[in-house]
Structure 1
Amino acid sequence: MMLDRRSLIGAAGLALAAKGVGAAEPSAPARPAAPVPPRDVTRTLARYIVGAKVEDLPEAVRREGTRTFLNWVGVAIGGSHHETLDVAVSALKPFSGPPQAGLFGRAERFDIMNAAFLNGVSSHIFDYDDTHLKTVIHPAGPVASAILALAEMRPVSGSDFLNALVLGIETECRIGNAVYPNHYDVGWHITGTAGVFGAAAAAGKLMGLSEQQMVWALGLAASQPVGLRESFGSMNKSFNPGRAAANGLFAAILAERNFTSSDGMIEARRGWANTVSTKQDYREITEGLGTRYEAALNTYKPFACGIVMHPAIDAAIQLRNENRLTPDQVRRVELKVHPLVLELTGKTAPRTGLEGKFSITHAVAVALVEGAGGEKQFSDRAVRDPVITELRGKVAPVVTPGVRPEQVDLTITLADGRTLTRHIEHAVGSVENPMSDADLERKFADLAEGILPEAQIRRVMALAWDIGRLKDAGEVARAGVLG
């Protein structure tokens, strides 16, 4: 539980007042000894990563790893020509090293550090990527971006690539579990801060690091936390997973050459977890390694925006379609929501598509008008549409005790006085109501349309589905660039 500093100061002040200023002080009690930090958390995790084999992965975990990879490739292609990436490519091109790796959906080639960063940015621009709901980490961006760039420079088999991807996701999500929600609540963007560990672990696995080198790689990753929630709604948000990818790759490359670090950088008293969070549950990192898989809990977004808005979009689309609603029929829309919805997505007057991804009022309005929540609904065009803008003013989210973050109660009052209601317990795309493989393929094709030719889209999609059986994982990267 986070210490309330103001309450502590106030209590101290009352105590002084009660005794009187200048009153004799009793002997101070002995300060209790600081708790002894746990031992070998970083090393236990490193030992597992180094020893884990692809044949040890349960079939369900391999399947989810493949679905994660497919989804990531699709969103990386989809974001490849957004203004955000255009700016980043233009800014970094003069400083890039050898052309070692490509960018999905583009013709430019960069050194692997910059390629990892840029593909990571591209995959997160639309906020349409995968989500580990327990921590709201977007796992694939930091990990896949790092190791696919590496795979273009150092060829690896698809099975080794898939194993590294799963291990990287496992690493970042377990570390995220250990500090969430306190770490997130104070303002850290956990995809960046935990994602760097996943990128380092996955890259280090493909490099064949020893146990000690993996300890150092994780330690170097711990020294590079990146991302603050204040960036949400700007280009800076997608910077965070991109930078985590490059930083993790950087850490593994240094560790391979025996660039040392503390052996306890995650758990030490002045290490990562104690520095960035008031909660540390190290059991989440070390218990059940190889038997409990966070990677199996990954989810995929049917809507291109913050995950806490998905229940409301789901409810709005259902009521719109079932009742054939038109905007002029709607007098008022009330949402009963968890406080996190307004904390994360409370922008009432978004000016750009990126800001619209963090506006619950826009999300509901556009869902009622257009019956969808894809990237087109979170574009600059959509947030400036006069019909959507007018309806946005009729949407009233109300924080309601007892409503969980994954729930919503939505009530539409119509101009004729009728009311329509819908409760969502688990939105489409959740673990309980997952997107099907066919859903993921439609999402992929929609994102890639207009960027790659149809035949190329089908080929990249087929290679992504087949990642675990490819002789060369880098084939996916080469297939997804513009010739």
Structure 2
Amino acid sequence: MSELNRRQLLKMGALVAAMAPAMSGTANAGDAPAATMTPPDSPAAKGATHKLAHYIVNARYEDLPLNVRKEGVRTLFNWVGVAVGGSGHETIQCAIKALNPFSGPRQASLLGRREHFDIMNAAFINGVSSHIFDYDDTHLKTIIHPAGPVVSALIALSQHQAITGKDFLNALVLGVETECRIGNMVWPNHYDIGWHITGTAGVFGAAAAVGKVLGLSEQQMVWALGLAASQPVGLRESFGSMNKSFNPGRAASNGLFSALLAQQNFTSSDGMIEAKRGWANTISTKQDYSQITEGLGTHYESALNTYKPFACGIVIHPAIDAAIQLRNQYHLKPDQIASIQLKVNPLVIELTGKKTPQIGLEGKFSIYHSVAVAIVDGAAGEKQYSNSKVQNAQIIAVRDKVTAIIDDNMKPEQVDMTIVTTDGRTLHIFIEHAIGSVEKPMTDAQLEVKFIDLVEDILPSAQVQKLIKLCWNIEQLSSAALIPQTASL
């Protein structure tokens, strides 16, 4: 990565940190902790793994604020939809073909399918399925996709060990809290180096969530987190390939693996997160340990989770939102477009600058393709990222008229779009916050529309309605296993 891009990412991190107090005002039960750097010998760094483990072990469902519980339910609901929706992708077919001969007892369902695998492989495959469309949830401060590692591990375990809905939701929230806080600690430098943070931080979330429902002691939870620290997975070079979804899948199975070992007193260092040669100091040039420990139980990163209305990289969403708004307002047809100019943050081009994608997975990382399908189809759901769509002549014609210009004054969540039509009109729109952001969240009704669109061709309609009801009412379930049972064929 060039020094310029590195500085741009650092600027973005500073921007996000500056925005955090405003964001936390609506999402947290208490004041957000200050974003300050903490040296390795500071009180915040000392015993960070133990402090986090102590919180996880002692946190109760009854202590969760109502808004945090609600966001946990929405996190689960969105995850089930994308996991079922991705279940027929060729990536899942490859994984099943590779692993089926070696699977152990058929303990857990694959969502959207008839096959059953042992819980380790089920956690992995469901995690892959939930991320393959790049349509899952996003913690915008770190670009972590929290549910993939956490819920995939919990769903698998729920079919092997009885877990009530309340205990499931509590563990889900704690897992998301764990991975996002650890992500905050090293963001953006860790991502800048090239790590896929969903995998590297997600493994901690999976270990914490599983460890919670297993009833680990504080010492065992420390070991679970330590074992998770030994298994960072995921590089950004994988983006645009099947390997990207491998990362949250592997984080889920690795976290589950860690907690199960710790339950049997498989030991680790007590300071694997914060030690000089531990996780944070080894794979990041930034370590702000206060992000892990301050405000535990009062400030909830899990309440800041967001859900994608578009099935692609999150930094493209403002441009898609802008294109759809102009298309609908002016009833634009593809042959009326002379040019489309975008002013975007540098990160947008770095992450999604593929000008000529050849397959659907590459299209998810092409702002050019995404704007084109938004104009042609008025949508950017999973159907707009098929192999046939990226090869469609009409879409390619519009794609070739899209120009993206880097503007350092643009924030990552903004876009400035100008469309010139063939009859000489100039149409302009500026997006401050796209739909699906913390400021403009998707409603429950919108999440249901997305859910149904993803699963209606896979599960029978009566089963879909039953699954929707089960997810929204997770807190009332005597067994969380009802959800994966209903989500499979």
**TM superposition score normalised by structure 2:** 0.91
The C-alpha deviation readout for 1:47-80, integer Å capped at 9, x for no partner, is 0000000000000000000000000000000000
The C-alpha deviation readout for 1:267-289, integer Å capped at 9, x for no partner, is 00000000110000000000000
> Does residue 162 in structure 1 map to residue 169 in structure 2?
yes
> Does residue 249 in structure 1 map to residue 256 in structure 2?
yes
Structure 1 residue 163: deviation in Å? 0.0
Q: 1:352 aligns with which of 320, 334, 359?
A: 359
State how far apart, in whole Å, the 1-side matches of 2:383 and 2:425 are.
30
Matching residue's letter, 1:283: S
Q: Name the SS for the 1:175 alignment partner.
A: helix
Contact 2:174/2:205, CA 8 A, preserved across alignment: yes
Residue 238 of structure 1 corresponds to 245
State how far apart, in whole Å, the 2-side matches of 1:147 and 1:328 are.
49
Matching residue's letter, 2:134: D
State how far apart, in whole Å, the 1-side matches of 2:124 and 2:464 are.
23
Structure 1 residue 395: deviation in Å? 0.2
> Does residue 336 in structure 1 map to residue 374 in structure 2?
no
> Does residue 460 in structure 1 map to residue 467 in structure 2?
yes
Matching residue's letter, 2:181: R
Contact 2:40/2:46, CA 8 A, preserved across alignment: no
> Does residue 382 in structure 1 map to residue 389 in structure 2?
yes
Residue 470 of structure 1 corresponds to 477
Specify every segment of 5 or more residues in structure 2 that has no aligned partner in the other structure, as ranges.
5-38
Q: 1:260 aligns with which of 267, 270, 276?
A: 267
> Does residue 215 in structure 1 map to residue 222 in structure 2?
yes
State how far apart, in whole Å, the 2-side matches of 1:233 and 1:431 are.
26
Query: Whose Rg is larger?
Result: 1
Residue 373 of structure 2 corresponds to 366
Q: In the TM superposition, what are the counterparts of 1:48-67 in structure 2 within 5 Å?
A: 48-67=55-74
Structure 1 residue 359: deviation in Å? 0.2
Residue 429 of structure 1 corresponds to 436
State how far apart, in whole Å, the 2-side matches of 1:181 and 1:430 are.
19
State how far apart, in whole Å, the 1-side matches of 2:182 and 2:269 are.
17
Matching residue's letter, 1:219: G
Structure 1 residue 160: deviation in Å? 0.2
Residue 15 of structure 1 corresponds to none
Residue 24 of structure 2 corresponds to none
Q: Name the SS for the 2:347 alignment partner.
A: helix
Residue 270 of structure 1 corresponds to 277
> Does residue 92 in structure 1 map to residue 87 in structure 2?
no
Residue 10 of structure 1 corresponds to none
The C-alpha deviation readout for 1:406-427, integer Å capped at 9, x for no partner, is 0000000111221100100000
> Does residue 106 in structure 1 map to residue 117 in structure 2?
no
State how far apart, in whole Å, the 2-side matches of 1:147 and 1:448 are.
21
Residue 36 of structure 1 corresponds to 41
Contact 2:82/2:136, CA 8 A, preserved across alignment: yes
State the 4+ residue runs in structure 1 displaced beyond 2 angstroms: 34-38
Q: In the TM superposition, what are the counterparts of 1:105-144 in structure 2 within 5 Å?
A: 105-144=112-151
Structure 1 residue 35: deviation in Å? 5.7
> Does residue 284 in structure 1 map to residue 291 in structure 2?
yes
Specify every segment of 5 or more residues in structure 1 that has no aligned partner in the other structure, as ranges.
5-33
State how far apart, in whole Å, the 2-side matches of 1:89 and 1:276 are.
32
Q: 1:198 aligns with which of 193, 205, 212?
A: 205
Q: Name the SS for the 2:87 alignment partner.
A: coil
State how far apart, in whole Å, the 1-side matches of 2:363 and 2:199 are.
22
Contact 2:40/2:274, CA 8 A, preserved across alignment: no
Structure 1 residue 3: deviation in Å? 10
Contact 2:48/2:271, CA 8 A, preserved across alignment: yes
Structure 1 residue 392: deviation in Å? 0.6
Contact 2:133/2:312, CA 8 A, preserved across alignment: yes
Q: Name the SS for the 1:177 alignment partner.
A: helix
State how far apart, in whole Å, the 2-side matches of 1:299 and 1:163 are.
18
State how far apart, in whole Å, the 1-side matches of 2:233 and 2:443 are.
33
Q: Name the SS for the 1:153 alignment partner.
A: coil
Q: Name the SS for the 2:133 alignment partner.
A: coil
Matching residue's letter, 1:73: V
Structure 1 residue 36: deviation in Å? 3.2
Residue 25 of structure 1 corresponds to none
Structure 1 residue 469: deviation in Å? 1.2
Q: Name the SS for the 1:331 alignment partner.
A: strand
Residue 14 of structure 1 corresponds to none
State how far apart, in whole Å, the 1-side matches of 2:267 and 2:408 are.
49
Matching residue's letter, 2:377: E
Residue 186 of structure 1 corresponds to 193
State how far apart, in whole Å, the 1-side matches of 2:61 and 2:41 are.
36
> Does residue 404 in structure 1 map to residue 426 in structure 2?
no
State how far apart, in whole Å, the 1-side matches of 2:81 and 2:40 are.
47
Q: Name the SS for the 1:332 alignment partner.
A: strand
Q: Name the SS for the 1:429 alignment partner.
A: coil
**TM superposition score normalised by structure 1:** 0.93
What percent identity do the matched residue pairs reach?
Answer: 68
